[in-house]
Every structure is written in structure tokens, then in C-alpha cells.
């Protein structure tokens, strides 16, 4: 999702075996094998589209310079040709020519803290409980719901998802549970304990900075019931009433190199090592938090991001350790959500899991479980050596700086949702992207390189490519909108055309023909081949194109095939879409991160920026965005499409 454009140059591949494409058993294996391989787009096509993408964001002179570079690069038998052939060879040898490279450059070699810069958060609607009993009951149901989802993954009964009528790669579902990101001095790694000889059977529960290993399966392999989990959570709560003095989980929020050093310091001690290993192997983590500071419902979403997503201020207990793929957070006052580690998966599988879990928590409890005594969950102990204490202090300071620097505005746009653009025969996603273009243009008088995540899951082991939302057509629309030269019906037509162009780029991206990953591939191929970096990639225009002042994403994607969904819903409660909001940070110091969840009649937005940048302001962007949406709504309503 995040436009973590591979700024880090990759070293030759073959070193990495993190979430290796696994041969999945049975039905999924057959499904995965049937998926097409990600194509390498034709070189000439990418270069033409690259020049088009530059048009709205660079000057005429820069464009002329780049045209000359492209001319040179595309010559038959030239450097572009050679790199393209290298990529095509790679594609013949790998299941997916991109996925390992992408995992490494976008995530594992990315050195900024995962907090803010990489790990997204998802905030759920506030739940209807106000006390500890309610919190533990809800947490117990949530755990049971997540284990139910895990059973569907393990049994391969999870319906295959579809996008535009095409089946999607389901591999990411196999990576999101029992996964953990381990820090390394130059590169992190991801380990997965879902299968193998001894698959994980426990989760980690965190309360008051204290960690517990909670076994969630009975000896016969059946998952614990809500009642049983509730009792176990109560035991944990009652034995961790005092806040631990050292919030050891804070170490994970550091710059990756510092965390890697601190990690090595930490696990020098045998007890610490055992505790760390237990956390690493857990299926997921649940953090039981104190109540959030009281705020009205209106500001709940905005305020909650801080504790839920950025890893909490120190009075809260949800500082897990290390980067477990999934960390649910349930606070005593009904606030809840999750933070996830981005390396193994994009947001959509996580949101699908959340949809299931939230529906599960609404089910009435049918069975009262006989109270067979269960062993006390194991407390994980840590010896805080002076070295570790020092690392914790440094991490506290850094986190504090990051939290102070983060500017967040979350809004629920109530006036309409995706039904309105649909009624106008416009793609809702394209409509929202055009509103973002208009908002940005009104704020800055220019457009910027804009990143929107597009799924590549139509292909085996596919992750994402980029939809470039700033286009020649979007520029024409935003310039016309407030200019004097055009009638309203012309502006409406420009808006429709810009949205159509966006949808066309989306289709190009999801079918593996966008430009960004191809250009990245050519660059990485040059590094692998040890040839000097082509000038095309050293060009100012390339730097501008990769400086995404707007990094945006929708959190959802894909629907189970109708028949599969029907079969699935016959057995379960169905998969209603949770009214959640996802949140992630900007990818450049002077940029915005914008995540949105379009519901039928409203749209949830989370906008982030950095306070240290004088030019950006999340609340101002939110204001301009709302105005853009309303103005576009009015424009279309007053200027209906002429009937032919
Ligand atoms: N007229 C009427 N309806 C239209 C329409 C039109 N011209 N164009 C689209 N629609 C409908 C669609 O049929 C769809 O209907 P549904 O609500 O019944 O499903 C709905 O509008 C939404 O379509 P659209 O807004 O065009 O978006 P999309 O669902 O096709 O999603 C992407 C577009 C880019 C978000 C999606 O393809 C994708 O790649 N998602 C992945 C995002 C991701 O990985 N994010 C990472 C987060 S970490």
C-alpha cells in the first residue's frame, strides 16, 4: 500500500528467504497454480506511459530533457533493451519476478521506524462496553472470532476473492497469522510459524506492559471457547495490576538499525530470549488497554489513532514486541482496532479478517462451556540490564518526537458515499481520487505525483503497483474547476473524463501494465547486472515522479465469488463490511498519507502529515477535501450527462 518507493537500492537477490512463496496444500494449491504469472510489460509501452505521467508534474524543460533520455534508453539493442531482456529472463525463473524484490526494497530494507512510516492501523467503531468485564468479554469473543478465521484458512474454506470477475491470489492470507518481522542490522526478515512441525498454538496478551503466553487450543486441538478465553484473560488481568516500569515493547518503534542492535542486546539474556521467542511465535497479539481519554464520538476517530496506531503513549499497555503481524488493541472504554506489520500482506486481507471478527463478536453466545480448569497463562519475564534500559530510554525519546511530529485528521464524510458516483456512472474510487486532486490543487496551485495502491493479486504472489492519479486529464479538470474559461457543463464533462482516465489507469495497473514496478524492476536489474545506473533513473524528473506528496489507498478490494459467498454465508453469519478506517503515514517529509473507506452512504478518511513541515496540514487538507467532494457533487447534479 504505502508508496514506500524503493529508495534503498537492492543488492543482488538470492539472499532472502523470508515469507517464501509456499506450496499451499489442496484446494488453494490448485487455485494458486492456476493463477497467471505477473507479466513484464512491454518496454516501449512503459516508456510512453512514463512520459505521459510526467506531463502534469514537471516543467516543459524537464520533460524535454527526459524525452531525450527516454529516446536513448529505448533504442533497439540499447541499455533498456538489455535490462528488459534480463527482467524477462527473471520472470521465466521466478513464480513472480517482482514479489521478492518488492518485499525487500519496500519493507525489509526500509530503515525508518515501522511506526508511522510503514505499519498501518485500523480503527473500529467504538464498542458498546464501558468497563473491564465488557472489555475482557469483547476481547475473548474477538480472539475466538480470529481463531475461527484461522480455521477457515487452515481448512481452506475461505472463499477465493474476485476482482473484476477474476480470481485473486490468496497467498497473503497464509502470511498474516503466526508471522513476525525480526529486525536485522541491514535488512529485516519475516518468519512464519503457521505450519511446520510445531505450528503456533498460543497468542500473546499484553496488559500493563506485561506479556503473557496464552494457549488458545485445548489438548484435542479445538480452540478455546469465549468463556474459557474470558477466564484466562481475567487471570492475566488480575496478575498484572501494577504497570511494569519498563515498557519494553517500545524498543520495536525505533529506527530499524537501532532496534536490531537493541534486539541483540535484549536476547543476550537467556530469559529474555525465551520470552522474545514466545512472542515471535504467537498467532497474534492482543493488548488490553486502559480507557482512552474521554472524548466525544465526533473526535473519537481522530484522537484514537494516536494510541491505536502510533503505538500508545506510555500510560497505555499496548506495546507489544517485536513486530507480530497482527496486534489487536481493546481498551476498557470500548475503543478498539489493530496495528499490522506490512511486510507479509496488504490491508485488504487484514480488513477481510476484521470484517469476519467484528461480525463474530456480534453473534449471540450459544454455548456455556463447562469450566474445566485451565493452566495459568505463562508470564513472559524480562531482565532489564543497564544496556536494555538505556535502549528503552532512547526509544522513548524517539517515539515521543515521532508522536509530536505526527499530524492526523480523521473525518467521516456524511453527505454521501459511493452510491452517489455510482448513480452518476462514475467509479467511486476515481471520484474520490479526483476530489483529492482538486483539494491539493486548490491548496498548492499545482498537482503533485500521487500514489494510489493497486492490487496485483490477479497474479500469483501479486502484491501492488501504483495508480498515478495525477494525469493530463485530472490536471485539465482541476484547472478548469475554479478558472473562468469554462462553462459548468464543460467542467462536469472534464470531471467525467478525468474519472474515466483514472479508471482506465486502474484497469491497466491491476492487469500488470502500470509503469512503477516495471521501472523499479529495470533499475534493480541494472544493479543485479552491475551495469552503471541508466541516466533515466538519475534524472530530476524521475525524482519528482517518485516524490509522492500524496500517498493514498483504499483499504478494501475483492469480493468472494457470489456462489462461494453464498455457500460460505450459509455456514457463517456473512461478511458485512465493517465501518472501519485505516491509517498510515506520509511517505515524504512534505507529503500526506490519505486512506479512505468508501461505504454506501458515507466515506471514512484518515489524513496524515508531519508537523515539522510548515507547508502541510492534515486538518486543512481534510477541509479542502470535503469542499472538493461537495463541489463535485453539485457540479454533476446540476450538469447531468447529456443523453445521446
Ligand atoms: N458506474 C457505476 N458503478 C461503478 C462504476 C461506474 N462507472 N465504476 C465502478 N463502479 C462500482 C463497482 O462495480 C463497485 O461496485 P460494488 O460496490 O458493488 O463492488 C464499486 O463501484 C467500486 O468500484 P471502484 O470505486 O471503481 O473501485 P474498485 O472496487 O474497483 O477498487 C481499487 C479500485 C484500485 C481500490 C482496487 O482495484 C484495488 O486495487 N484495491 C487494492 C487496494 C490495496 O491493495 N490497498 C492496500 C491497502 S494497504
The atom number, within ligand 1, closest to the CA of 350 reads: 48
Query: What's the CA gap between 228 and 230, in Å, rounded?
Result: 5
Q: Which of 422, 462, 508, 602 to mutate to test the pocket of ligand 1 (most atoms within 8 A of CB)?
A: 422
For ligand 1, the distance from its centroid to the CA atom of residue 164, given in whole angstroms, is 9
In the chain, helix, strand, coil percent, each to 5? Answer: 45, 15, 40
For ligand 1, the distance from its centroid to the CA atom of residue 428, given in whole angstroms, is 7
For ligand 1, the distance from its centroid to the CA atom of residue 504, given in whole angstroms, is 12
The atom number, within ligand 1, closest to the CA of 464 reads: 44
Give the DSSP H or E segment for 635.
helix 618-638
For ligand 1, the distance from its centroid to the CA atom of residue 427, given in whole angstroms, is 7
* Residue 342 is a catalytic residue: yes
pLDDT at position 305, please? 44
Q: Count Cα neighbours of 586 within 13 Å in the Cβ-side half-sphere.
A: 28
Parse the chain into domains and list their residue ranges: 5-23+41-105+414-559+575-638, 131-164+196-407
Average pLDDT per block of 10 residues along the chain, 644 residues long: 34 32 56 92 98 98 98 96 97 97 96 91 88 95 97 90 90 93 94 85 93 94 94 96 82 93 95 95 92 60 48 40 77 89 91 93 73 90 95 92 90 96 97 98 98 97 97 98 95 98 98 98 95 95 98 79 52 62 94 96 95 97 98 98 78
Distance (Å) of CA 529 to CA 7, 82, 85, 540: 18, 10, 11, 24
The atom number, within ligand 1, closest to the CA of 455 reads: 39
Would you say how long the chain is, in residues?
A: 644
Residue 567 has which C-alpha cell? 455457500
Q: Which of 343, 423, 425, 428 to mutate to test the pocket of ligand 1 (most atoms within 8 A of CB)?
A: 428
Contact 252, 321 (CB under 8 A): yes
Checking phi first, is residue 114 left (phi over 0); if not, alpha (psi -120 to 50) or beta?
A: alpha
Query: What's the CA gap between 25 and 13, in Å, rounded?
Result: 27
Q: What angle do CA 353, 288, 141 make, to 5 degrees?
A: 45
DSSP state of 223: B
Q: What is the dihedral of CA 64, 539, 105, 260, to 10 degrees?
A: -150
Residue of 94, 202, 342, 356 marked catalytic: 342
Query: What's the CA gap between 225 and 486, in Å, rounded?
Result: 64
For ligand 1, the distance from its centroid to the CA atom of residue 557, given in whole angstroms, is 7
Contact 108, 16 (CB under 8 A): yes
Contact 118, 342 (CB under 8 A): yes
Residue with CA nearest ligand 1 atom 22: 428
Q: At what angle do helices 43-54 and 60-73 cross, to 10 degrees?
A: 170
Residue 136 has which C-alpha cell? 475482557
Residues lining ligand 1, Cβ inside 6 A = 1, 120, 163, 346-348, 418, 422, 425-429, 453-455, 464, 506, 510, 553-555, 557
Question: Do the domains at 5-23+41-105+414-559+575-638 and 131-164+196-407 have one common CATH topology?
Answer: yes
Distance (Å) of CA 412 to CA 435, 516, 525, 606: 15, 31, 44, 9
Query: What's the CA gap between 295 and 290, in Å, rounded?
Result: 14
The atom number, within ligand 1, closest to the CA of 120 reads: 48
Sign of CA dihedral 108, 111, 114, 119: negative
Query: What's the CA gap between 179 and 641, in Å, rounded?
Result: 50
Residue with CA nearest ligand 1 atom 33: 429
Alpha helices in 220-379 (DSSP H): 226-238, 256-266, 270-280, 297-309, 347-362
Contact 430, 506 (CB under 8 A): yes
Residue 436 has which C-alpha cell? 483529492
Contact 250, 170 (CB under 8 A): no
Q: Coil, strand or helix: which one is 619?
A: helix
User: What is the arrangement of strands in the sheet containing 559-560, beginning at the earlier edge strand?
Assistant: 166-167, 161-163, 559-560
Among 359, 327, 335, CA closest to 121: 327
CB within 8 Å of 612: residues ≥ 6 apart? 405, 589
Among 111, 174, 200, 161, CA closest to 557: 161
Q: What is the DSSP string of 379-436?
A: EEP----HHHHHHHHHHHHHHHHHHHHEEEEEEEE-S--THHHHHTT--HHHHHHHHH
Query: What's the CA gap between 346 and 356, in Å, rounded?
Result: 17
Distance (Å) of CA 491 to CA 30, 436, 449, 487: 49, 16, 23, 6
Please provide the distance, in angstroms rounded to a whole number, between the alpha carbons at the two ends of the chain. 40
Pairing of strands 285-289, 202-207: parallel
**Which residues carry a binding-site annotation for (R)-carnitine?**
451, 453, 464
Residue with CA nearest ligand 1 atom 3: 422
Residue 11 has which C-alpha cell? 543488492
The atom number, within ligand 1, closest to the CA of 559 reads: 19
**Which residues carry a binding-site annotation for CoA?**
418, 422-429, 455, 503, 554
Residue 235 has which C-alpha cell? 487471570
State the CATH class of domain 5-23+41-105+414-559+575-638.
alpha beta
Contact 179, 173 (CB under 8 A): no
Give the predicted TM-score (pTM) of the model.
0.92
For ligand 1, the distance from its centroid to the CA atom of residue 37, given in whole angstroms, is 23
Query: What's the CA gap between 192 and 180, in Å, rounded?
Result: 6
pLDDT at position 463, please? 96
Buried b (16+ CB within 10 A) or exposed e, 225-234: bbbbbbbbbe
Contact 474, 436 (CB under 8 A): no
Contact 590, 581 (CB under 8 A): no
Q: Give the CATH architecture of domain 131-164+196-407.
A: 2-Layer Sandwich (3.30)
Q: Coil, strand or helix: which one is 309?
A: helix
**Which residues carry a binding-site annotation?**
418, 422-429, 451, 453, 455, 464, 503, 554
Residue with CA nearest ligand 1 atom 19: 559
Query: What's the CA gap between 284 and 178, in Å, rounded?
Result: 6
For ligand 1, the distance from its centroid to the CA atom of residue 138, given in whole angstroms, is 32
Q: What are phi and psi of 579, to 5 degrees?
A: -80, 60
Contact 169, 459 (CB under 8 A): yes
Residue 602 has which C-alpha cell? 458515507
Query: What's the CA gap between 592 and 33, in Å, rounded?
Result: 38
Amino acid at each position: 500500500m504505502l508508496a514506500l518507493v524503493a529508495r534503498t537500492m537492492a543488492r543482488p537477490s538470492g539472499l532472502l528467504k523470508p515469507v517464501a512463496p509456499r506450496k499451499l496444500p489442496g484446494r488453494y494449491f490448485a487455485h494458486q497454480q492456476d493463477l497467471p504469472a505477473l507479466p513484464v510489460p512491454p518496454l516501449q509501452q512503459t516508456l510512453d506511459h512514463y512520459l505521459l505521467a510526467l506531463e502534469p508534474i514537471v516543467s516543459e524543460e524537464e520533460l524535454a530533457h527526459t524525452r531525450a533520455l527516454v529516446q536513448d534508453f529505448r533504442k533497439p539493442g540499447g541499455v533498456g533493451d538489455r535490462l528488459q531482456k534480463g527482467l524477462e529472463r527473471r520472470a521465466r525463473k521466478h513464480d513472480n519476478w517482482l514479489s521478492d524484490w518488492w518485499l525487500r526494497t519496500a519493507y525489509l530494507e526500509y530503515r525508518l521506524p515501522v511506526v508511522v512510516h510503514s505499519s498501518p492501523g485500523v480503527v473500529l467503531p467504538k464498542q458498546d462496553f464501558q468497563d473491564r468485564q465488557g472489555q475482557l468479554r469483547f476481547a475473548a469473543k474477538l480472539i475466538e472470532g480470529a481463531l475461527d478465521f484461522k480455521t477457515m484458512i487452515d481448512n481452506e474454506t475461505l472463499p477465493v476473492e474476485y476482482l473484476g470477475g477474476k480470481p485473486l491470489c490468496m497467498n497473503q492470507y497464509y502470511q498474516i497469522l503466526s508471522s513476525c518481522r525480526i529486525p536485522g542490522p541491514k535488512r529485516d526478515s519475516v518468519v512464519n510459524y503457521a505450519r511446520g512441525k510445531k505450528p503456533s498454538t498460543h497468542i500473546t496478551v499484553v496488559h500493563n506492559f506485561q506479556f503473557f503466553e496464552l494457549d488458545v487450543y485445548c489438548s484435542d486441538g479445538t480452540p478455546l471457547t469465549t468463556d474459557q478465553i474470558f477466564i484466562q484473560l481475567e487471570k492475566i488481568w488480575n496478575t498484572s495490576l501494577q504497570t511494569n516500569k519498563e515498557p519494553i515493547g517500545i524498543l520495536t518503534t525505533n529506527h530499524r538499525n537501532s532496534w536490531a542492535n537493541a534486539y541483540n542486546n535484549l536476547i543476550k539474556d537467556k530469559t529474555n530470549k525465551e520470552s522474545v521467542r514466545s512472542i515471535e511465535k504467537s498467532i497474534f497479539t492482543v493488548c488490553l488497554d486502559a480507557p482512552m481519554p474521554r472524548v466525544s464520538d465526533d473526535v473519537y476517530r481522530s484522537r484514537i489513532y494516536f494510541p491505536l496506531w502510533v503505538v500508545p503513549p506510555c500510560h497505555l499497555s499496548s506495546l507489544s514486541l517485536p513486530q507480530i503481524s497482527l496486534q489487536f488493541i481493546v481498551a476498557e472504554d470500548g475503543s478498539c482496532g489493530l496495528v499490522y506489520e506490512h511486510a507479509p500482506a496488504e490491508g485488504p486481507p487484514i480488513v477481510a479478517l476484521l470484517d469476519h471478527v467484528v461480525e463474530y463478536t456480534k453473534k449471540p453466545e450459544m454455548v456455556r462451556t463447562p469450566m474445566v480448569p485451565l493452566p495459568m497463562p505463562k508470564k513472559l519475564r524480562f531482565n532489564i540490564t543497564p544496556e536494555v534500559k538505556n535502549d528503552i530510554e532512547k526509544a522513548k525519546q524517539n517515539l515521543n518526537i515521532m508522536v509530536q511530529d505526527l499530524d492526523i485528521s480523521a473525518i467521516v464524510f456524511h453527505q454521501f458515499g459511493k452510491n452517489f458516483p455510482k448513480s452518476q456512472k462514475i467509479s467511486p474510487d476515481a471520484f474520490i481520487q479526483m476530489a483529492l486532486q482538486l483539494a491539493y490543487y486548490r491548496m498548492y496551485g499545482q498537482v503533485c505525483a500521487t500514489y494510489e495502491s493497486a492490487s496485483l493479486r490477479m497474479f500469483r504472489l501479486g502484491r501492488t503497483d501504483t495508480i498515478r492519479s495525477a494525469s493530463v486529464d485530472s490536471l485539465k479538470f482541476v484547472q478548469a474547476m475554479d478558472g473562468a474559461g469554462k462553462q459548468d457543463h464543460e467542467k462536469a464533462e472534464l470531471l467525467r473524463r478525468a474519472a474515466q482516465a483514472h479508471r482506465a489507469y486502474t484497469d491497466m495497473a491491476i492487469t500488470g501494465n502500470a509503469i512503477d514496478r516495471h521501472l523499479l524492476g529495470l533499475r534493480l536489474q541494472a544493479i543485479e547486472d552491475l551495469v552503471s545506473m541508466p541516466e533515466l533513473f538519475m534524472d530530476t524528473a524521475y525524482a519528482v515522479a517518485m516524490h509522492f506528496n500524496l500517498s493514498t489507498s483504499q483499504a478494501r478490494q475483492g469480493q468472494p465469488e457470489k456462489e462461494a459467498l453464498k455457500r460460505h454465508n450459509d455456514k457463517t453469519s456473512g461478511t458485512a463490511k465493517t465501518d472501519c478506517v485505516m491509517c498510515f503515514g506520509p511517505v515524504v517529509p512534505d507529503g500526506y498519507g490519505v486512506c479512505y473507506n468508501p461505504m454506501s452512504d458515507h466515506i471514512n478518511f484518515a489524513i496524515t502529515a508531519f508537523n515539522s513541515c510548515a507547508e502541510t496540514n492534515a486538518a486543512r487538507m481534510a477541509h479542502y477535501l470535503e469542499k472538493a467532494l461537495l463541489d463535485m457533487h453539485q457540479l454533476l447534479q446540476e450538469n447531468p450527462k447529456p443523453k445521446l
